[in-house]
Copies of this chain bind each other. A is one copy, B any other.
Amino acid sequence: MELTRVDLTRFLPVARGDEPADLVLRNGRVVNVFTGEIIDADVAIAGDTIVGVGPGYEAGEEMDLGGRYVCPGLIDAHVHIESSMCTPPQFARAVLPRGTTTAVTDPHEIANVTGADGVRYMLAVSQGLPLTVIVNLPSCVPATHMGTAGASLEAEDLLALADLPRVVGLAEFMNVPGAVLGLPGALEKLAAFQGRVIDGHAPGISGTWLQAYVGAGPGSDHESTTAEEMLEKLRLGMVVFIREATAAQNLRALVPAVTLQNSRRCAFCTDDRHPADLLDEGHLDYLIRLAVAEGLDPVTAIQMATLNAAEWFRLRDRGAIAPGKRADLVVFSNLKDFRAEMVFAGGALAARDGVAVGDWPVPDVDDAHVRDTVHVEWERLSFDIPAQGERVRAIGVVPDQVITDAAVVPAKVVDGLAVADPERDLLKIAVIERHRGTGNVGLGFVRGLGLKRGAIAGSVGHDAHNLTVAGCDDASMMTAARAVGDLGGGLVAAAGEQVLGSVPLPIAGLMSDRPVETVRQQMDELVGVARTLGSPLHDPFMTLGFLALEVIPALKLTDQGLVDVEKFDFVPLFVA
């Protein structure tokens, strides 16, 4: 894929030195990702393209780098932009000043809500940004058939999107059993994308199953958690993306296994990073700093964050500083403490000292299809759980993890109904189908959220993103859930009939339309409210959002009921 096409009528005379360039960066120390060298050189730019690296170029505008380093713009190999809770233009403003100029995003979250419309929205709203947003199509929507998502994407739906500009292939192919056992739906998708990029997703898979998975088509993986796992995948030819997300932090475990010989098959990705992490730690710049602190050669780290990702995704117009490549550049001063001082995107200065500069386009996109996505018949909604026994299964929160425990505990029954018992930290939880107004409500109990009163609710509930609410009493739960509906999506804390705080997420119920700084402040305030209600968790809304994810053990709740993930089937709430 070559998104930046060189205009040779302009390029050639400038490259030959017969006409002046638009811009020359003088006296840079250029990180050459092809050879692993650092070479003193000028970089000449015409339009959005690098025309020459070395001496012999003049330009209308010159900038003296005074011996600072220049490297290619960074490439995030796998990110769900929705996890930043910001739209692509706002995400771009958060990450580009950090040095990221290309993000390969998997719009898996919005696709679970609005299907192909969501994918098209993410493409449209990122059109023309200084950050190049590449879309890798979500391969597994819905995640399973045990939850009700807002859409499904079959092979033919994906193929209809495959040739759109900036679409590169198929993202994290999570359906490992489907690929390895050769189930029809999975094989159809893999066959449809043969010859294109297919990213894998094989956490903990090894041995003969991994061999079958690799041969079936997926060629990369970003789920390694140990060096051993990473090496097995590299040896089978997978390109490994080393991930450092908000929840899944794998970099420290994996970087020691990177060698000069295998590093060409390694890249970096952020997967899911929340607003506070983007602002406090950073984006790929943070991964590079962390990797170098862990002992990785800085030039190798930069290769992984640039050329290696470009090669895997066949982005032949970028990932290096060379004639004909897109002029995405990062200027920085310290190899051991990588911090972007200037970021050029398509030849234009787009950020300086961590702040976006210049006029960024404001995409004029009709987003009606991705707003107003909460559809619940509130009049029919009830959280009543008629008692059918004396003991219930309860989901157990594991702090800072997406896995849960499963326990069986005595029910508290009042007037024939099983109810929450905050004194035992046993809250009621409901997952309300919110896409199609089916009236589906999954009901259950959860321990570990810690609320002493009130309720919290949100429209972010991986992966189907139904409306999830947990609380100490049905009235608070109803207030919180309805407030999410009134916002058209968002996160809410409530007590009794009072809404105590909220973060509006009007785009698909997943993303704010405000800057990342605003979202972060709103989140901080909302988590503060949850804390006053008694929750000790770092982020109870994130925890709540993963209690519906029926592909991660052990016990989860979807709109269709309680799921024993290890059995991959529903189980009754009451235990005899």
Binding site for B on A (CB under 8 A): 2, 5-6, 8-9, 11-13, 15-17, 32, 34-37, 39, 49, 51-54, 56-57, 180-182, 187, 190, 194-195, 207-209, 211-212, 214-217, 231, 234-237, 259-262, 264-265, 299, 311, 316, 320, 322-325
Q: Is the CB of A16 within 8 A of B51?
A: no
A362 to B187, CA, bound (A): 36
Task: Tell whether, in the assembled complex, residue B235 and residue A324 are in contact, meaning their CB atoms are under 8 Å apart.
Answer: no
Decide: B231 and A15 in contact? CB cutoff 8 A.
no
Measured CB to CB, the closest approach of chain B to A356, in angstroms, equals 29
For A44, give the chain B residue with the smallest CB separation. B211
Tell me the smallest distance from the CB of A122 to a CB of chain B, in Å. Answer: 24
Contact of A5 among B57, B194, B299 (CB under 8 A): B194
Given known A2-B195, A52-B208, contact A181–B12 (CB-CB < 8 A)? yes
B207 and A56 form a contact (CB under 8 A): yes
Q: A207 to chain B: which residues have CB within 8 Å?
A: 54, 56
Contact of A237 among B16, B52, B180, B320 (CB under 8 A): B320
Q: Give the residue of B16, B208, B322 whose beta carbon is less than 8 angstroms from that of A209.
A: B16
A35-B231, A236-B322 as given contacts; A54 in contact with B16, CB under 8 Å: no
Partner of A262, one of B5, B36, B182, B194: B36
Partner of A208, one of B9, B17, B265, B320: B17
A2 contact set on B, CB distance < 8 A: 194-195
Residue of B nearest to A5 (CB): B194
**Could you tell me the distance between the alpha carbons of A75 and B85 in the complex, rounded to whole angstroms?**
48
> Could you give 11 example pairs across A and B, Cβ below 8 Å?
A15-B208, A16-B208, A35-B235, A35-B261, A36-B261, A49-B215, A51-B211, A51-B215, A52-B208, A54-B211, A56-B208
Smallest Cβ distance from A528 to chain B, in angstroms?
48
Interface centre among A32, A190, A211, A231 (most CB of B within 10 A): A211
Assembled-state Cα–Cα distance A461/B53 (Å): 40
CA–CA, A234 to B32, complex, Å?
10
Docked-complex contact B211 and A34, CB < 8 angstroms: no
- Out of B34, B211, B214, B234, name the residue touching A235 (CB < 8 Å): B34
Top 9 nearest A-B pairs by Cβ distance? A36-B261, A215-B324, A15-B212, A215-B323, A237-B322, A35-B262, A211-B323, A17-B208, A52-B211
| Chain B residues in 8 Å Cβ range of A194 | 2, 5
Instruction: Tell me the minimal C-beta distance from A226 to chain B in angstroms.
Output: 16
Is B214 in contact with A322, judged by CB distance below 8 angstroms? yes
Tell whether A53 pairs with B324 under 8 Å between CB atoms, given A5-B194, A34-B234, A216-B12.
no
A220 to chain B, nearest CB (A): 12
Find the B residue at minimum CB distance from A323.
B215
Residues of chain B lying within 8 A (CB to CB) of residue A187: 8
Tell me which of A12, A181, A214 has the highest count of chain B C-beta atoms within 10 A of its own C-beta: A12
* Docked-complex contact A236 and B53, CB < 8 angstroms: yes
Q: How far is the CB of A55 from chain B (nearest CB, A)?
A: 8
Q: A8-B187, A236-B323 are in contact. List 4 more A-B contacts (CB 8 A).
A: A15-B211, A15-B215, A53-B211, A53-B235
User: Are the C-beta atoms of B234 and A323 separated by less than 8 Å?
Assistant: no
A76 to chain B, nearest CB (A): 22
